[in-house]
Structure 1
Amino acid sequence: MKEMIPSWRHVFKLDPEKEIDDNTLDAICMSGTDAIVVGGSTGVTYENTVDLLSRVRRYELPCVQEVSDLEAVVPGFDLYLVPMVLNTPDPTWIMGRHHEGIERYGYMIPWDLVVSEGYIVLNEDAAVAKLTGAETSIEASSVVAYAQIADKLMNLPILYLEYSGSFGDMEIVRSVRRSVEHTRLFYGGGITNAEQAAAAASVSDTIVVGNIVYDNLQQALETVKVLKDLDAFS
């Protein structure tokens, strides 16, 4: 499944803590998106993750879990994305939780399905920023430096620029994309319409669309369509 990551242009991220009715889930999974990521910063449990996985499994598209809580890791996903927050002074979110998880569960980890991702969190109001103590008020040059650490030193397959809750600075995203060679650049945060989706997709490899799914389904679906149209003419 790892070789599928480079082909993803559009991903919907669903939060197990949030309610989503069957009709909405059907529209999302049949939209033409490349994958469904299941995950959230808070309120993620084994029970609500199992429930969402079982519902998504009715559809033929990759379903991956972004691991945020050791107690909520559920067998049966196609991939497991393991985030490392690069711009936090707290080592808990860079290696601490990871060490704890491997020490406890290393014997049962399906390593061939595990993909590490470097997070750079850039919205101070985002739940993940508050949880991890990420230093969000940093210059573009600092963001690029973190990106190069992920790409050059850590050889991470995914670098995720996280603006969760607000639409980010596309010039910073563009600078990051120019600075990396090997890592795949994911952008997530504040994509609420087709125009923003197109703008983010033009400066990243993969866009992640989340909150708008719960606020305006039609606009969420349009983020898929605009990428299909753009890529058809590229």
Structure 2
Amino acid sequence: MRQMIQPWRHIFKLDPDRELGEEELAAICLSGTDAILVGGSTGVTYDNTIDLLSRIQQYELPCALEVSDMEAIVPGFDVYMIPMVLNTPDPAWMTGHHRKAIERFGSLIPWELLLAEGYIVLNGDSAVARLTAAECSISADAAGAYAQIADKLMQLPVVYVEYSGRFGDMDTLRTVRESVEYSRLFYGGGIIGREEAEQAAALCDTVVVGNIIYRDIEQALLTVDAVKKTPQIHLD
């Protein structure tokens, strides 16, 4: 699974709880993006997830499910991304929900299709921050320390810097970039056009574009080319 995500430079994230017409979905899936990530913080159900998956499967590109609710786990995805929120005092979002899922599903879990993500949630006004009680008012150095926990201690495949709803602090992202050696660095939050996409792409391995799809799809589509053409800064 690590090898599958290595080429992913740009990802569109689609929320099963939000409406997207067939024409818009086709534009997203044929845009040149490297993969589709399905997930959301609230309102995600088995029914709306399987409906969205069946629509995406008309197109030939990888499709991952970010698991946020045990009731919405749907078979048929290429990869299952398992979030672990690093900067929360609530252990339920580190291992608690994960333990319950393993107890419930046991041998049915396709371990070979799972990838863990070490989330650093940094927008306190976001739904995911409220849901997980994430401590978002942390320094860049603290964010970098969390990234090293994920990268070096836990050896997670993905470190995910999440600003969800607003564009993040690029100095903080740079600090996280300097801290990550082995994990793939994902960034998501506030990508509303080329400029933000280019800034994030310069510092991370994979840019995740979500909310702008539902507000201005033309701007969303411009982010694919912006990310693909932006070289990553190599930090010493």
**TM-score range for the pair, normalised by the shorter chain length:** over 0.9
Deviation digits for residues 119-178 of structure 1, max 9, x if unmatched? 000000000000000000011111011000000100000000000000000111111111
Partner secondary structure for residue 151 of structure 2? helix
Alignment check: 8 A CA contact 2:202 2:230 kept: no
Partner of 1:176: 176
For the residues of structure 1 that align with 2:83 and 2:208, how far apart are their CA atoms? 15
Partner secondary structure for residue 161 of structure 1? strand
Please tell me the root mean square deviation across aligned C-alpha atoms, in Å: 1.0
**What one-letter code is carried by the residue in structure 1 that aligns with 2:228?**
K
TM-score between both structures, scaled by the size of structure 2: 0.97
Alignment of 1:123-138 (within 5 A): 123-138=123-138
Partner secondary structure for residue 6 of structure 2? helix
For the residues of structure 1 that align with 2:228 and 2:145, how far apart are their CA atoms? 32
For the residues of structure 2 that align with 1:3 and 1:140, how far apart are their CA atoms? 29
Unmatched runs of 5 consecutive residues or more in structure 2: 232-236
**Cα drift, residue 229 of structure 1:** 2.9
For the residues of structure 1 that align with 2:111 and 2:2, how far apart are their CA atoms? 11
Deviation digits for residues 7-56 of structure 1, max 9, x if unmatched? 11000000000000000000000000000000000000000000000000
Aligned residues: 232
**Cα drift, residue 230 of structure 1:** 3.0
Going from structure 1 to structure 2, the CA distance change for 1:2 and 1:179 (only over 3 Å counts) comes to: closer
Alignment check: 8 A CA contact 1:197 1:207 kept: yes
**What one-letter code is carried by the residue in structure 2 that aligns with 1:165?**
G
Partner of 2:201: 201
**What one-letter code is carried by the residue in structure 2 that aligns with 1:5?**
I
**What one-letter code is carried by the residue in structure 2 that aligns with 1:204?**
C
Alignment of 1:1-234 (within 5 A): 1-230=1-230
**What one-letter code is carried by the residue in structure 1 that aligns with 2:111?**
W
For the residues of structure 2 that align with 1:77 and 1:2, how far apart are their CA atoms? 15
Partner secondary structure for residue 138 of structure 2? coil
Alignment check: 8 A CA contact 1:2 1:113 kept: no
**What one-letter code is carried by the residue in structure 2 that aligns with 1:35?**
A
TM-score between both structures, scaled by the size of structure 1: 0.97
Partner of 2:234: none
Unmatched runs of 5 consecutive residues or more in structure 1: none
Partner secondary structure for residue 68 of structure 2? coil
Alignment check: 8 A CA contact 2:207 2:227 kept: no
**Cα drift, residue 179 of structure 1:** 1.0
**Cα drift, residue 84 of structure 1:** 0.3
